[in-house]
Amino acid sequence: MAGKFCGFRMLSFSFFFVMLALFVSCSPGKDRNSSGKRDSSNESVASGPEKGFIVGFSQIGAESAWRVRNSESMQEAAEKMGIQLLYANAEQKQENQLKAIRSFIVYQVDVIVFVPIVQYGWENVLNEAVTAGIPVIVADRKLKLSDPDLVAGFAGPDNFEEGRSAARFLLRKYESSAEPVRIFEMRGTEDSSVTEDRAAGFREVLAGSNRFEIIYSESGDFLRSKGKELVENFIRENGGFVFDGEPIDVLFSHNDGMTLGALEVFDGCGIKAGSDVTIISVDAEQAMIDALKEGKVNCVVECNPDLGETVLALAEKLVNGEEIAYHTIVDGQVFTEFENYDSLPPRGY
Ligand code: AHR
């Protein structure tokens, strides 16, 4: 099987389909039977670093530093574990993910891993994977499925808990005041589980107190450019970071990319982020930890992007015929203005 990819380890989406056809036709005979299917009876597991199995990985894209690190983590883990990884970048389009997954099925990879950009619309392709006998692991974001058994399992952060952590920080920050607290929420991609869960966790904790009011909530699609545009337009339309003439106290941003966009706008119009407006952000990129240390941000909730080893260890178990847990949660920490992070190691993203 080691020769099947002619020495390649990773492919990018742009030339994936062309290369797929090429690989299918140039694969050594011992790896495929006359119908072009992989002939497992002729396969052997290579010794040493090569484990001899193939994972097709459909990634959303590269919308944030977090996402870039998430892809790197998969690639690094594959290298380390001797797993061949077919990487397909969907450039933010569900249709590209569907095409990539179908290509993985045609190629008969051993395991499919994908990060669903949105929660819905996957049942057909997952049924096709089941029919082909290829197990699927969902990474980072979750799915809404009528039949949970369409996938082998999920591995990723607890986005609901991230929303809760953001809200708990606010309860602590404003515990000694009785004033109302007005919140501007910048959500991530619509219909994604991560957006839904962060929003729900945040609301769950704040529901216990009627002082906190989310007066505005809009999607910035996890993009720095859209975060910037959203805050810029809001300030222009409302004559400042105010709503109905009253100042907004808090920006809760679902990711660091959008927060960085908002910080640019605040900077440009003399609003002191971190003191005029309390800022809470999710991801914990280096840039946001730096902003926290500078006092421009008040709370950063980590969403751990380093899922590679966890996800590929699950894939390996599946290849070996072992059971895996349906949910594998990767923990994250919370960084707040109440602590000192001078000795925090570099984040790596
Ligand atoms: O799904 C995780 C989210 O997606 C991260 O918070 C965000 O930065 C990324 O784009």
The domain spans of the chain are: 2-156+305-330, 159-303
Among candidate residues 185, 11, 176, the one with its CA nearest the CA of residue 104: 11
pLDDT of res. 97: 98
How far is ligand 1, taken at its centre, from the CA of residue 306, in Å?
Answer: 12
How far is ligand 1, taken at its centre, from the CA of residue 37, in Å?
Answer: 37
Q: Is ligand 1 within 6 A of the CB of residue 160?
A: no
How far is ligand 1, taken at its centre, from the CA of residue 301, in Å?
Answer: 12
Distant-in-sequence, close-in-space partners of 330: CB < 8 Å, separation ≥ 6? 155, 156, 157, 304, 306, 307, 310
pLDDT of res. 24: 34
- Identify any residues that bridge with 212 across adjacent strands, giving them in sequence order: 181
How far is ligand 1, taken at its centre, from the CA of residue 94, in Å?
Answer: 16
Q: What is the rounded distance in angstroms from the CA atom of residue 106 to the CA atom of residue 267?
A: 51
Q: Is ligand 1 within 6 A of the CB of residue 255?
A: yes
Topology at the third CATH level for domain 2-156+305-330: Rossmann fold (3.40.50)
Secondary structure of residue 249 in the 3-state scheme? coil
Work out which ligand 1 atom sits closest to the CA atom of 194.
Answer: 1
Q: Strands 212-219 and 181-187, how do they pair? A: parallel
In 10 A of CB 204, how many CB atoms? 13
Cα angle at 139 between 133 and 143, to 5 degrees? 80
Q: Is ligand 1 within 6 A of the CB of residue 349?
A: no
pLDDT averaged over 10-residue windows placed end to end, the chain, 349 residues? 34 44 32 34 39 94 96 97 98 98 98 98 98 98 97 98 98 95 98 98 95 97 98 97 95 98 97 98 98 98 98 98 98 97 96
Among candidate residues 80, 113, 69, the one with its CA nearest the CA of residue 311: 113
How far is ligand 1, taken at its centre, from the CA of residue 42, in Å?
Answer: 41
How far is ligand 1, taken at its centre, from the CA of residue 9, in Å?
Answer: 26
Among 154, 192, 255, the mutation site with the greatest number of ligand 1 atoms within 8 A of its Cβ is 255
Q: Is ligand 1 within 6 A of the CB of residue 283?
A: yes
Q: Is ligand 1 within 6 A of the CB of residue 60?
A: no
Q: Is ligand 1 within 6 A of the CB of residue 194?
A: yes
Q: Strands 278-283 and 299-302, how do they pair? A: parallel
How far is ligand 1, taken at its centre, from the CA of residue 147, in Å?
Answer: 26
Q: Which CATH architecture has domain 159-303?
A: 3-Layer(aba) Sandwich (3.40)
Report whether 329 contacts 340 (CB < 8 A). Answer: no
Q: What is the rounded distance in angstroms from the CA atom of residue 302 to the CA atom of residue 334?
A: 6
Q: What is the rounded distance in angstroms from the CA atom of residue 59 to the CA atom of residue 10?
A: 13
Distant-in-sequence, close-in-space partners of 241: CB < 8 Å, separation ≥ 6? 184, 231, 234, 235, 247, 248, 266, 271, 276, 277
Output the pTM of the full model.
0.88
Secondary structure of residue 173 in the 3-state scheme? helix
pLDDT of res. 52: 85
Among candidate residues 14, 82, 63, 113, the one with its CA nearest the CA of residue 255: 63
Cα angle at 114 between 259 and 254, to 5 degrees? 15
181-199: b (≥16 Cβ within 10 Å) or e: bbbbbbbbbeebbbbbbbb
Work out which ligand 1 atom sits closest to the CA atom of 282.
Answer: 6
Secondary structure of residue 227 in the 3-state scheme? helix
Q: Where are the alpha helices (DSSP H) in 180-306?
A: 193-206, 224-238, 256-268, 286-293
Q: Do domains 2-156+305-330 and 159-303 have the same CATH topology?
A: yes
